[in-house]
Structure 1
Amino acid sequence: MEWFTDDNVNKFCSRDTTFISKEDAMQYIADVVIPHPWYRAICLNDKPIGSIYVSSFHGSHICRGEIRYEISSKYLGKGIATKAVKMVGSTIFVDWPHLARLEGVVAVDNIGSQRVLEKTGCVLRKYYHVKGKPIDIAMFSLLSTDQ
């Protein structure tokens, strides 16, 4: 899981996990990856070079899932993440029929990941109605703490 020690990858990840040893990686796999309901490796020539997973929302938002992925920086810009997201999109709704929408969120300065999601159609499609017709939107936000 070399991407877990890749600073170019980790700067965009919400997790604080870093591996110092193989045992650390194995413990993460045992504690997080294996029990996760939908977690997969991204492989190239049978070698894992990243991971991709979907988490389902709970409560009234159970029809939505969030996709997250990471790939070793030496494989960025080659279309691998885009292909992986497309593969998930073609299977997740079969694996999890309760989902109606798959969402992805990206850090503003993670331009590469934004491009992946744009190329795979992950915008809020048919999210808002204008003059009786559903339209696609891009979402932005202001916070109550903004000046």
Structure 2
Amino acid sequence: MEGNSGTSNGKEGGDEVFTISLRPLGLSDIDDFMVWSTDEKVTRFCTWGPFGNKEEGLKYIRDKILPHPWLRAICLDGRPVGTISVTPNSGNHRCRAEIGYVLGSKYWGKGIVTRAVKMVVDTIFKEWTHLERLEAFVDVENVGSQRVMEKVGFQREGVLRKHYIVKGRTIDEVIYSILSTECKN
């Protein structure tokens, strides 16, 4: 997906109106990136961060974000407020990929991630025609992300006990999926 991958207009949080778009995140977005990547509330469920300074943030963008096969900034009226990614599997598992996202805490509860995930689901199965399954692994304590998955139409498949180590603790994860046949393409 090059450039803008679509937009979604909406009214959320009272009379506030904004446009959501997805686009590549670059080094020039460092100041916006630092807003959410230094916030402990935001990075609680992430494998990274919080970052302590701009140099760490720039290194992460350069080493992890830029080479990622499919990662976009979630933008409100053109300004990045988070990211969303789809990470492909390989070999015999190439029929599936994992979706993940992060959003600045100031924007939680406004339907922004739900709309961004819908935008990705609406396009990723068209872009990656080999893809049959999109998965999400959600910390059992991350109730907000569980709600997002369910609103978008992902099916809760179960809890994977002691499935992943995040920042030194082993967590249980809820696995969600949506199939290409379940999407209106």
The TM-score with structure 2 as length reference comes to 0.66
State whether structure 2 residue 72 is matched by structure 1 residue 40. Answer: yes
State whether structure 2 residue 25 is matched by structure 1 residue 6. Answer: no
Report the alpha carbon displacement of residue 89 of structure 1 after superposing the two structures with TM: 0.3
Select 2:103's aligned residue among 51, 71, 75. Answer: 71
Select 2:115's aligned residue among 59, 68, 83. Answer: 83
Please tell me the residue identity of whatever aligns with 1:104. A
Q: Deviations over 1:29-71 (max 9, x none)?
A: 1111111110000011111100000001122111001000000
Q: Which residue of 2 aligns with 1:18?
A: 50
Report the alpha carbon displacement of residue 6 of structure 1 after superposing the two structures with TM: 1.2
CA distance in structure 2 between the aligned counterparts of 1:98 and 1:111, rounded to whole angstroms: 31
The TM-score with structure 1 as length reference comes to 0.82
Larger CA Rg, structure 1 vs 2 = 1
Coordinate RMSD, CA, aligned: 1.4
Select 1:55's aligned residue among 87, 92, 95. Answer: 87
Moved more, 78-87 or 18-27: 18-27
Report the alpha carbon displacement of residue 100 of structure 1 after superposing the two structures with TM: 0.5
Report the alpha carbon displacement of residue 98 of structure 1 after superposing the two structures with TM: 1.3
CA distance in structure 2 between the aligned counterparts of 1:28 and 1:140, rounded to whole angstroms: 30
Runs of 4+ with >3 A deviation: none
Report the secondary structure of 1:105's partner residue: strand
Please tell me the residue identity of whatever aligns with 2:144. G
Q: Is the 8 A contact 2:117 2:152 kept in 1?
A: yes
Q: Is the 8 A contact 2:40 2:50 kept in 1?
A: no
CA distance in structure 1 between the aligned counterparts of 2:61 and 2:161, rounded to whole angstroms: 37
CA distance in structure 2 between the aligned counterparts of 1:83 and 1:100, rounded to whole angstroms: 21
Report the alpha carbon displacement of residue 3 of structure 1 after superposing the two structures with TM: 1.2
Q: Is the 8 A contact 2:72 2:84 kept in 1?
A: yes
Which structure 2 residue ranges, 5 or more long, are not aligned?
A: 1-32, 163-185
User: Judging changes above 3 Å, is the alpha-carbon distance between structure 1 residues 141 and 53 closer, same or farther for their aligned structure 2 residues?
Assistant: closer
Which structure 1 residue ranges, 5 or more long, are not aligned?
A: 125-137
CA distance in structure 2 between the aligned counterparts of 1:109 and 1:19, rounded to whole angstroms: 22
User: Judging changes above 3 Å, is the alpha-carbon distance between structure 1 residues 141 and 21 closer, same or farther for their aligned structure 2 residues?
Assistant: closer
Report the alpha carbon displacement of residue 83 of structure 1 after superposing the two structures with TM: 0.3
Work out the percentage of aligned pairs sharing the same amino acid.
Answer: 50
